[in-house]
Amino acid sequence: MTSSELHRSRDWHQPHQDGDQLLRLLREGPLELEGRLVDASNTTLRAVLTLDGMTARCVYKPVRGERPLWDFPDGNLAGREVAAYLVSAATGWDLVPPTVLRDGPLGPGSCQLWIDGPVEPEPLVGFVPTDKLPSRWLAVAAARDEEGIPYALAHADDPRLARLAVLDAVINNADRKGGHVLVGPDGRIHGVDHGVSFHVEEKLRTVLWGWAGRELPTDVAEALATLAGAVAGELGGALAEHLTVSEVAAVASRIGRLRAAGRFPLPSRQWPAMPWPPM
């Protein structure tokens, strides 16, 4: 199955579960595989979890199915997926779906709650004709179609997306494509696919550059202050189970720089600022 085919399925309803119950379900529920996202670069499977009357779908990414990356030689991508969830949870924004590291039919891997989308989703990121850019959207890059018509890669000026942009800066996400931003049936947004995050070197690549250089909102600055304390404490210990000591220290350093600047980061001049393909 392709990712689009999986996301179009609407024949199954995921009930709301308490956060602790969901994490237990993700950790302990038997995995029944349903299909594979064949357009993913690493082995990515969808499965159903059932435990004590609870049922949910999940995305299962086994470590054995990861493609080796020369610039991420330590640990595994599955552990980085879990680390991204831990940081997201510590901010209180809950942008990354609940994610755990567990054993499965193909061995250890990350297991993340599947997010069903609304029947008629409202796009938040995409290519739009330059002369039809929606109000309160921010242009990020210019492009032209095959007929030479100008388009803009843009995203909504949405505080939920702004928080996701800050989270990406904290975890040093090297691959925030537009397709990695999901809208759930309740209207909440979620960021997924964080396997190439947390590098010690500057590798931020994202389509969410619309706020670059702008002042951080007060609530974001407050969340960063809380996050700094968490990384210095229990969160830092939890991250160390999935990242190197240097990578955990780099998280604290990036938070410190964001707080000191008080602004959204600017694109690096030493590293491509945009993932490819952007969507």
- For 81, the token pair is 């997926």
Would residue 228 count as lying in a domain?
Answer: no
Would residue 276 count as lying in a domain?
Answer: no
Contact 175, 193 (CB under 8 A): yes
- d(C-alpha 34, C-alpha 192), whole Å: 19
Q: What pLDDT is stored for residue 8 in this prediction? A: 34
Would residue 74 count as lying in a domain?
Answer: yes
Would residue 13 count as lying in a domain?
Answer: yes
Q: What pLDDT is stored for residue 12 in this prediction? A: 33
Ranges of the chain with pLDDT below 50:
1-16
Q: What pLDDT is stored for residue 241 in this prediction? A: 96
First to last CA, the chain: 19
Digit-coded pLDDT (tens) for 4-51: 334 333 333 344 457 889 999 999 999 999 988 777 778 999 999 999
Q: What pLDDT is stored for residue 9 in this prediction? A: 36
Q: What pLDDT is stored for residue 6 in this prediction? A: 40
Q: What pLDDT is stored for residue 217 in this prediction? A: 96
> What pairs with residue 125 in β-bridges?
155
Q: What pLDDT is stored for residue 16 in this prediction? A: 43
Domain that holds residue 62: 3-113
Of the CA atoms within 13 Å of residue 220, those in its CB half-sphere come to 23
DSSP reduced 3-state for 139: strand
Domain total in the chain: 1
Would residue 102 count as lying in a domain?
Answer: yes
Would residue 234 count as lying in a domain?
Answer: no
Would residue 68 count as lying in a domain?
Answer: yes
Would residue 25 count as lying in a domain?
Answer: yes
Beta strands in 82-239 (DSSP E): 99-102, 109-113, 125-129, 137-144, 150-156, 181-183, 189-191
Q: What pLDDT is stored for residue 118 in this prediction? A: 67
Q: What pLDDT is stored for residue 222 in this prediction? A: 96
- For 51, the token pair is 């435990």
Q: What pLDDT is stored for residue 108 in this prediction? A: 97
